[in-house]
């Protein structure tokens, strides 16, 4: 007995299998959300870890910039995700096709439906290691097969529609229904998990006694009479130059995000711990409660991605709360000069131990628990270095006797080096009699001495206004706003901007792209 088609064509079975594959992926998402338990998550991670270095560099640079030109963020990662979705769908489709063939061989539709559910569920467990999302994937795929079979039961033709077409239309309808329901459940479930994780983190911070967390964001002074997060954020807002079209001194929700994997880890603070291992006399492990019970600090610090274009937007600033890394290092009897910082998702970066002397283990951002996308429950902050070094979801600091290569260094990047000096030009405001140009400047721990602006293409220079340096900051690594107003010459003209760091060194004029050591050069813009 045929339960998909009796016209001898394999097309209906293939189409049904593809729709069942899509439904299986959606079923996994329905019960996992956009978390590591989602069946596509480990596939994206494997692709990111094994993609050729040249292709990854292209995705991180030109492809991402191309996407931004059309309003698409992280186009390289989106392509990775689409490929992973196709692989997941293809895997489930092949298993469904095998189940359909087996059921057809033995002449029973029930076997096809049941075998589809079992095979898809088993594959999900193997790939993602999660039982509950596996059940969602298996049930969703089996349901599509059941609907396709049900539409072909009975007479060979009904109202002029062939059995094959009925099965394809039935599987399509089933997949659309599952898709809407699965997306709704997955999105709501993920939001609930994130909220619960943040609530748990806030509870841990409050239990610590010394942490301000979200509880003190708008209250009085923090522990030991220090300013609260709310007071420092208000101070930063007051210190802003208030230029129209220019981001303030604290980036807030607009803080950039760059990750190697598409799906961020979803780590429960109660399950988290950090290990100090390797070339140490005393290995240490601290959990979240122990970390948040230590005396904490509130510090402003700026992060900039090594792949950030010269005048790009992947540079942002926040008020972080956490514990100095030195509190762990001082009791460990270090016997190496290098450290490999590792994340729960397998990401790792190496740099000199001395860079950690002003580093922080941060668990709060802008008066709230650290968001998942920025490393919840704890991330590393290393002032002066590119953003890649500030490992999110950190769970290990391994002390090394010899230097090693981290994730990006293995692929030709040099993200461990000090971040380049840059003055960005992001705002151009035209008044009745003058033009005001403005932006942000940062030079890592070297600080900014001044910003200079030329309105004649670099022939002459004038000093711009600078916002005050935000205090307290982490190792001096905090950006400043700059602004310059002038009477425009007739016609169009070229505005050029450059920064001079705290040591008196001028930002290099020669323009270079992000790869491999970060973008450098003077930023210029033609103004009409």
Residues making up the chain, counted from first to last? 528
Separation between Cα atoms, residue 523 and residue 525, nearest integer Å: 7
How many CB atoms are closer than 10 A to CB 182?
Answer: 24
Contact 278, 336 (CB under 8 A): yes
Separation between Cα atoms, residue 99 and residue 109, nearest integer Å: 10
Kindly report the CA angle at 22 between 20 and 23, in degrees rounded to 5? 60
Kindly report the CA angle at 440 between 518 and 507, in degrees rounded to 5? 50
Separation between Cα atoms, residue 227 and residue 318, nearest integer Å: 16
Contact 202, 216 (CB under 8 A): no
Separation between Cα atoms, residue 273 and residue 412, nearest integer Å: 31
- Which residue's entry shows tokens 């293995």? 410
Q: Grade residue 311 by pLDDT with cuts at 50, 70 and 90.
A: very high
Contact 121, 138 (CB under 8 A): yes
Q: Give SS3 for 389.
A: helix
Q: What is the mean pLDDT of residues 237-265?
A: 93
Q: Grade residue 189 by pLDDT with cuts at 50, 70 and 90.
A: low
pLDDT, tens digit (0-9, with 9 covering 90-100), for 393-417: 999 999 999 999 999 898 888 878 7
Q: Which phi and psi angles does 435 have, rounded to 5°?
A: -115, 140
Which alpha helices (H) appear in 107-162, and where do they start and end? 109-128, 131-150
Separation between Cα atoms, residue 370 and residue 285, nearest integer Å: 21
Separation between Cα atoms, residue 278 and residue 244, nearest integer Å: 50
Q: Which domains are present in the chain? A: 11-189 (no CATH), 251-411 (3.90.420.10), 422-527 (2.60.40.650)
Q: What is the mean pLDDT of residues 56-68?
A: 67
- Which residue's entry shows tokens 């992947």? 314
Residue 507: per-residue pLDDT: 97
Separation between Cα atoms, residue 448 and residue 340, nearest integer Å: 30
Q: What is the mean pLDDT of residues 380-390?
A: 96
Here the tokens at position 42 are 């480990």
Q: What share of the chain is helix, strand, coil (3-state, %, to 5)?
A: 40, 20, 40
Taking alpha carbons only, the member of 236, 233, 228 closest to residue 468 is: 236
pLDDT above 50 for 219: no
pLDDT, tens digit (0-9, with 9 covering 90-100), for 105-161: 887 889 999 999 999 999 999 999 999 999 999 999 999 999 888 887 654 444 555
The per-residue pLDDT of the chain, averaged, comes to 87
Instruction: Give the burial string for 378-411 (b: 16+ CB within 10 Å, else e).
Output: bbbbbbbbbbbbbbbbbbbbbbbeeeeebbbbeb
Q: Is 70 exposed, middle or buried (0-12, 13-18, 19+ CB in 10 A)?
A: exposed
Separation between Cα atoms, residue 136 and residue 29, nearest integer Å: 8
Q: Grade residue 64 by pLDDT with cuts at 50, 70 and 90.
A: low
CA torsion sign for 374, 375, 377, 381 is negative
pLDDT above 70 for 494: yes
Separation between Cα atoms, residue 422 and residue 518, nearest integer Å: 11
Give 411 or 469, the one with higher predicted confidence. Answer: 469
For helices 11-32 and 75-106, give the axis angle rounded to 10 degrees: 120
Taking alpha carbons only, the member of 490, 508, 510, 484 closest to residue 498 is: 508
Separation between Cα atoms, residue 361 and residue 350, nearest integer Å: 16
Separation between Cα atoms, residue 353 and residue 40, nearest integer Å: 36
pLDDT, tens digit (0-9, with 9 covering 90-100), for 413-444: 887 878 999 999 999 999 989 999 999 999 99
Residue 414 CA to its chain's centroid (Å)? 20
């Amino acid at each position: 007995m045929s339960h998909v088609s009796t016209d001898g064509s394999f097309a209906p079975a293939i189409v049904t299998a593809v729709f069942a594959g899509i439904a299986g992926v959606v079923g996994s998402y329905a019960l996992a959300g956009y978390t590591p338990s989602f069946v596509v998550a480990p596939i994206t991670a494997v692709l990111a870890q094994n993609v050729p270095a040249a292709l990854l560099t292209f995705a991180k640079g030109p492809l991402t910039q191309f996407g931004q030109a059309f309003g698409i963020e992280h186009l390289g990662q989106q392509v990775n995700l689409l490929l992973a979705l196709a692989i997941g769908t293809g895997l489930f489709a092949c298993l469904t096709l095998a189940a359909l063939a087996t059921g057809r061989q033995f002449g029973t539709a029930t076997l096809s439906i049941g075998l589809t559910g079992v095979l898809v569920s088993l594959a999900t467990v193997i790939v993602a290691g999660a039982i509950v999302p596996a059940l969602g994937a298996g049930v969703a795929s089996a349901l599509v097969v059941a609907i396709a079979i049900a539409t072909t039961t009975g007479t060979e033709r009904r109202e002029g529609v062939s059995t094959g077409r009925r099965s394809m239309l039935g599987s399509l309808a089933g997949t659309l229904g599952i898709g809407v329901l699965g997306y709704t459940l997955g999105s709501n479930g993920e939001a609930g998990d994130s909220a619960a994780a943040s609530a748990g983190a806030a509870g841990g911070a409050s239990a610590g006694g010394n942490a301000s967390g979200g509880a003190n964001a708008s209250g009085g002074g923090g522990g030991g009479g220090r300013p609260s997060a709310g007071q420092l954020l208000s101070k930063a807002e007051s210190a802003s130059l208030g230029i129209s079209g220019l981001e303030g001194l604290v980036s807030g929700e607009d803080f950039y995000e760059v990750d190697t994997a598409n799906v961020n880890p979803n780590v429960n603070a109660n399950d988290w711990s950090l290990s100090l291992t390797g070339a140490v006399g005393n290995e240490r492990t601290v959990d979240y409660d122990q970390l948040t019970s230590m005396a904490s600090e509130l510090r402003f610090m700026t992060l900039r991605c090594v792949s950030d274009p010269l005048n790009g937007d992947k540079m942002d600033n926040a008020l972080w709360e956490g514990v100095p890394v030195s509190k762990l290092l001082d009791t460990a009897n270090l016997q190496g000069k290098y450290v490999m910082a590792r994340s729960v998702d397998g990401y790792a970066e190496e740099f000199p131990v001395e860079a950690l002397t002003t580093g922080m283990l941060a668990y709060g951002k802008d008066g709230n628990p650290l968001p998942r996308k920025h490393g919840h429950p704890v991330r590393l902050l290393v002032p002066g270095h590119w953003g890649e070094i500030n490992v999110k979801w950190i769970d290990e600091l391994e002390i090394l006797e010899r230097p090693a290569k981290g994730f990006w260094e293995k692929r030709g990047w040099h993200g461990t080096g000090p971040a380049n000096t840059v003055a960005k030009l992001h705002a151009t405001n035209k008044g009745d009699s003058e033009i005001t140009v403005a932006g942000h400047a940062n030079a890592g721990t070297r600080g900014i001495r001044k910003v200079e602006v030329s309105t004649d293409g670099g022939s002459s220079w004038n000093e711009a206004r600078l916002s005050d340096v935000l205090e307290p900051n982490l190792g001096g690594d905090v950006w400043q706003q700059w602004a310059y107003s002038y009477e425009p010459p007739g016609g169009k003209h070229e505005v050029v901007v450059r920064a001079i760091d705290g040591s008196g060194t001028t930002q290099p004029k020669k323009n270079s792209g992000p790869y491999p050591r970060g973008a450098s050069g003077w930023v210029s813009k033609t103004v009409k």
